[in-house]
């Protein structure tokens, strides 16, 4: 299952909303889709699993939605610390990552 993320880069101001897309080449079984955040120079961190469940300690500014082949990560009220690359990940029958979306805070 190939995951395609868009856009490649998103440049927004603090307080704005970011909408990131992850499209799968085949339907994702049981919405087994996760999102990870990777800040510059750091290891990735799990944000969302099961398409919409927030991981422990993740603020509610981060939300996931979608089903089938189209999934979205929304970051409301952007903060400077949200500057990062965001990756979607398919799991269940196989493992794969999308190419990532870079979010820049102006």
**Contact residues for another protein (CB under 8 A)?**
32, 34, 36, 38, 43-46, 49, 55, 85, 87, 89, 91-100
**CA R_g for the chain:** 13
Q: How far is the CB of 15 from another protein (least distance, A)?
A: 28
Cβ-based nearer residue to another protein, 19 or 93? 93
Q: How far is the CB of 62 from another protein (least distance, A)?
A: 15
Cβ-based nearer residue to another protein, 18 or 37? 37
Q: How far is the CB of 95 from another protein (least distance, A)?
A: 4
Helix (H) or strand (E) holding 93, with range, is: none
Are 34 and 88 in contact by the 8 Å Cβ rule? The answer is yes
Cβ-based nearer residue to another protein, 16 or 99? 99
List the beta bridge partners of residue 69. none
Buried b (16+ CB within 10 A) or exposed e, 34-57: bbbbeeeeeebeebbbebbebeee
Cβ-based nearer residue to another protein, 61 or 91? 91
């Amino acid at each position: 299952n190939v995951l395609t993320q868009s856009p490649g880069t998103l440049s927004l101001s603090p307080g704005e909303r970011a909408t990131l897309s992850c499209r799968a080449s085949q339907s994702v079984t049981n919405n087994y889709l996760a999102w990870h955040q990777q800040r510059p120079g750091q290891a990735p961190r799990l944000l969302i699993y099961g398409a919409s469940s927030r991981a422990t300690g993740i603020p509610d500014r981060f939300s996931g939605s979608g089903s089938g082949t189209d999934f979205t990560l929304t970051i409301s009220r952007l903060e400077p610390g949200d500057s990062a690359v965001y990756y979607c990940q398919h799991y269940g029958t196989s493992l794969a990552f999308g190419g990532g979306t870079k979010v820049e805070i102006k």
